[in-house]
């Protein structure tokens, strides 16, 4: 991984991801935020309705993580759905603590995020 990509992973938040459709088998690209917690990378969404990107990653965990803010790069990545309740609580507690203005709104309390938001951990292959 280049130094520019590593710096972008440390400071950026908005990316695109390209997933492979679980039914169509076709690539699908969307813009989304990613988060860093304890040196790990995560993608999530707000609580509520099912998300196609999440269903695609559950069916096909390999995807492309597109950096597009401070650096431009297309990084191969793998998604691991985070389903363990304790792990979800730990990650969402870290993600939501600085976002009190969001989590204080009706329907956005941390317990709603923990119970009803898609969450994947992102890993990148080792680079030589």
At 44-74, the pLDDT tens digits run: 988 888 899 999 999 999 999 999 999 999 9
Domain extents for the chain?
A: 3-83+118-123
| Contact of 28 with 21, CB cutoff 8 Å | yes
13: Cβ–Cβ under 8 A, 6 or more apart, which residues? 33, 34, 35, 69
At 10-51, the pLDDT tens digits run: 999 999 999 999 999 999 999 999 999 999 999 998 888 889
- Give which of 122, 30, 35 is closest to 80, Cα–Cα: 122
Query: Can you give the pLDDT at residue 95?
Result: 83
| Contact of 73 with 67, CB cutoff 8 Å | yes
| Contact of 18 with 29, CB cutoff 8 Å | yes
- H helix intervals, 1-128: 3-11, 52-59, 85-96, 100-103, 110-116
Residue 128 has pLDDT above 60, yes or no: no
Distance CA 67, CA 45 (A): 18
Query: Can you give the pLDDT at residue 67?
Result: 96
At 70-127, the pLDDT tens digits run: 999 999 999 999 999 999 989 988 887 655 556 555 556 667 777 778 999 999 998 6
Fold held by 3-83+118-123: Pnp Oxidase; Chain A (2.30.110)
């Amino acid at each position: 991984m280049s130094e520019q990509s590593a710096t972008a992973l440390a400071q950026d938040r908005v990316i695109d991801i390209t997933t492979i459709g679980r039914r169509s088998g076709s690539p699908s690209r969307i813009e989304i935020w990613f988060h860093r917690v304890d040196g790990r990378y995560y993608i999530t969404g707000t609580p509520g309705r099912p998300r196609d990107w999440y269903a695609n990653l559950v069916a096909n965990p390999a995807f492309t993580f597109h950096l597009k803010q401070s650096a431009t790069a297309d990084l191969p990545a793998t998604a691991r759905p985070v389903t363990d309740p304790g792990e979800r609580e730990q990650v969402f507690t870290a993600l939501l603590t600085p976002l009190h203005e969001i989590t204080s709104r009706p329907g956005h309390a941390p317990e709603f995020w923990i119970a009803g938001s898609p969450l994947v951990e992102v890993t990148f292959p080792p680079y030589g």
